[in-house]
Structure formats: C-alpha cells, structure tokens
Amino acid sequence: MNMECRNANAVKDGKAILSNRWSGWICAICVIAVSTAAVSATSPEPSLKEIMQGLRVDLVEVTDGLLTGDFDQVVQAAARISQHPPISDAQAQLIASELGAEMAGFEQFDKIVHELSLSMTAAAKQRNRERTIADYQQMVNGCLACHTAYQSRVTAALGTRP
C-alpha cells in the first residue's frame, strides 16, 4: 500500500488505454504523461472496502483460471492482486489508532499476501502448476488470517459495517 503500487497501476492503466490508439515511441511518451496525470489527479481514493471488493474479483478470477488451466488468466488476475491500490492516509490513520501496536501485524499480513501474489504471478508465467497452487493456497490463508485477526475491529473503526 504505497505510492509505488499506485504508480504501477497508473502505468498499467495508461498502457491499456493507449495501446489501442498509439504505437512505438509516441506511446511510451504518452504513457509517461498519462501516468503522471493519473497520480496527481484529485479523484477520490478507493476505500479499503472497495480495494477488498477488487481483491475478491481478482481472487475469483485466479481460482477460475486454476480450475480451467488458463494460466494467462491466472497471471493477469494475480498481478492485479499485487498491484492493488494503496489504502488512503485517512483510513490508515483510523486503523492505526484502533490497532495500536498491532498495526505491525496488520501490515505484515498485507506484505505476505503481496509477496505471495508476486510469486504466484511468476510461477503462473512459468506454467509451474505446483508452485502456482502452493502460492495460491498460502495467499488465501493470508487473506483469511488477516480477516480473522482484524476484519471486524477495522470495520467498526472505519464505520463501514454492511
């Protein structure tokens, strides 16, 4: 959850938008311009709940790709998990004041899921089924472990109860 992730997303989006219309070096310049504009844009940051709803869609797509043997789908969806948008400063502060010293544990789970999603992306690129599945299982454990430890407290602290 940092600027690096946000930049990665912006660049990705920039490429996706531009690749239809431009090519070669013109495209490269546009990608830089668009990603800079996207980072400095004042559009509201997604809430933690919206970030999580994105992760849910991505996880379903990873699962579906594994079940059907579509490794390209796994690569794309796993990469999206690793590039999820950062949590806003305002929500991060609310969470930190609720969790106190336990904030480190919360961040640790985020890091574990992030690293496993990267490892899963790489394994799926190599068509390494065994490692992709092992990373997937550990990553889901990470999602659920963070929820077990913190979800209800954080939902209460953020006032986002369904």
Q: Note the residues at the interface with ligand HEC (CB under 6 A).
A: 48-49, 52-53, 55-56, 59, 81, 106, 109-110, 113, 142-143, 146-147, 150-151, 154-155, 158, 160, 162
Which residues fall within 8 angstroms of residue 64, CB to CB, at 6 or more apart? 70, 73
Q: How far is the CB of 134 from ligand HEC (least distance, A)?
A: 16
Of 18 and 78, which has the nearer Cβ to ligand HEC? 78
Of 2 and 20, which has the nearer Cβ to ligand HEC? 2
Q: How far is the CB of 105 from ligand HEC (least distance, A)?
A: 9
From residue 92, give the alpha-carbon distance in Å to each of 48, 68, 146: 9, 37, 15
Of 1 and 31, which has the nearer Cβ to ligand HEC? 1
Q: How far is the CB of 162 from ligand HEC (least distance, A)?
A: 6
Of 143, 59, 54, 146, which is closest to residue 99 (Cα–Cα)? Answer: 146
Rama region for 69: left / alpha / beta (φ>0; ψ in -120 to 50; rest): left
